[in-house]
């Protein structure tokens, strides 16, 4: 499991740029950024090597942010690799709330997966290793 920072943003021009600048000024490099929006607000989901420092920098800048545990799984970068991951999770009765791909290295795509039950996710991630998937930890970033 890795730490993902979720930042709540008003739907206003320049808010994403401001978040990026806040982290840059703190010397924090984002490994991943996923954006989602609704009519009222936006969500920035950020993965970085130093989530505690990032959370402090964002809080000091007045952003409402929190840390969420997500599974990070390296998936073989080939046709069917992602389908196999989703099928394996389905067999383990793991419900995915959202996911996004954020990296590609060593012939694998790295997916962040947020699931409804964090304990079940942690168990499932280790079970998946036996099926040829690699679970990543914060230090792997």
- How far apart CA 104 and CA 119 sit, in angstroms, is 26
Q: DSSP state, 61? A: T
- How far apart CA 44 and CA 16 sit, in angstroms, is 8
- Over the stretch 86-125, which tens digit does the pLDDT of each residue have? 998 888 888 889 999 987 777 788 999 998 877 776 677 6
User: Do 40 and 87 belong together in one domain?
Assistant: no
User: Do 111 and 134 belong together in one domain?
Assistant: yes
- Which domain range does residue 110 map to? 70-140
User: Do 7 and 30 belong together in one domain?
Assistant: yes
- Over the stretch 44-86, which tens digit does the pLDDT of each residue have? 999 999 999 999 999 999 999 999 999 899 998 889 989 999 9
Residues 6+ away with beta carbon under 8 Å from 108: 74, 75, 76, 77, 134
Give 36's strand partners. Answer: 43
User: Do 25 and 48 belong together in one domain?
Assistant: yes
User: Do 59 and 87 belong together in one domain?
Assistant: no
pLDDT for the residue numbered 26: 98
Is pTM beyond 0.95? Reply is: no
């Amino acid at each position: 499991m890795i730490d993902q920072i979720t930042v709540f943003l008003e739907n206003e021009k320049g808010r994403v740029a401001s978040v990026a600048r806040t982290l840059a000024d703190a010397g924090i490099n984002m490994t991943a950024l996923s954006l989602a929006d609704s009519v009222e607000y936006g969500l920035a989901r950020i993965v970085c090597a130093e989530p505690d420092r990032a959370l402090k920098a964002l809080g000091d800048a007045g952003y409402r942010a929190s840390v969420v545990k997500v599974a990070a799984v390296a998936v073989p970068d080939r046709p069917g690799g992602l389908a196999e991951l989703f099928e394996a999770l389905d067999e383990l009765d793991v419900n995915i709330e959202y996911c996004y791909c954020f990296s590609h290295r060593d012939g694998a795509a790295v997916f962040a997966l947020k699931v409804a039950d964090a304990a079940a996710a942690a168990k499932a991630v280790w079970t998946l290793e036996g099926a040829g998937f690699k679970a990543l930890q914060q230090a792997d970033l």
